[in-house]
A and B are shown apart, each in its own frame.
Chain A
Amino acid sequence: SQTIHQWPATLVQPVGSPLSLECTVEGTSNPNLYWYRQAAGRGLQLLFYSVGIGQISSEVPQNLSASRPQDRQFILSSKKLLLSDSGFYLCAWSVHRDQPQHFGDGTRLSIL
């Protein structure tokens, strides 16, 4: 069966520090991969998606970037975190764009 892992589960970082959140999927090949952010009291906002290695599409201009160095690995990064980057970050995968998305357990990021 397929599983998705995100780490770390929680992270506290100072303003201006770098960020690297990792997501890996097991049990499937060439998945579509997604990064979402959930701000407190709000729904989810799509940040990035990827249909293959090295292929990244960004949905909103922001302080973050994403990379897909391997087929089942998706990384969310920042060179310098802002206070507004705080939130709950969720990684998801799907077999195909028309298929349901399955989410990881999320990373809660707090910026001080």
Chain B
Amino acid sequence: GEDVEQSLFLSVREGDSSVINCTYTDSSSTYLYWYKQEPGAGLQLLTYIFSNMDMKQDQRLTVLLNKKDKHLSLRIADTQTGDSAIYFCAEPAADYSGGGADGLTFGKGTHLIIQP
């Protein structure tokens, strides 16, 4: 993957749902990832989806994958103040069928701002 794009900011009211969107470029990506970064901290793996799936749900998190449009979204239900963070979408940096371990390509991150 060369370019992963995300909106820089998203503001939602506490209790509403948050939907963070991402577009990626490498159609051969095996997994797609969502990471969460709180201020001054490292990245926490939030969830990931295998490329042969359309949807994955894990408690308040729902990941939707549209392979045709290369679009990935993360929905957080009942958004809480503790969800305030930067959310990164990421895909493998290379086609693993070629071997190697080329890391992940990240978007610039979406700042999720929670309004009381």
Contact surface of A with B, Cβ cutoff 8 Å: 6, 32, 34, 36, 41-44, 46, 49, 51, 57, 59, 90, 92, 94, 97-106, 108
Contact = CB atoms under 8 A, between A and B. Distances in A.
A49 B102 contact: yes
Given A44-B106, A100-B31, A105 B41 contact: yes
B42 A98 contact: no
Interface stretch (B12-20, B43-51, B57-65, B73-81): B43-51
A59 B101 CA distance: 11
Interface residues of B, number: 26
A17 B45 CA distance: 34
Interface of B: 4, 30-31, 33, 35, 40-45, 48, 88, 92-93, 96, 100-109
Contacts of B96: 97-98
14 contacts: A36-B103, A41-B108, A44-B43, A44-B88, A46-B105, A57-B101, A59-B102, A97-B102, A99-B31, A100-B45, A100-B48, A101-B103, A103-B43, A105-B41
Contact of A59 (B42, B45, B103, B106): B103
Contact of A46 (B93, B107, B109): B93
A101 B42 contact: no
A98 B41 contact: no
Nearest to A90: B42
A43 B42 contact: no
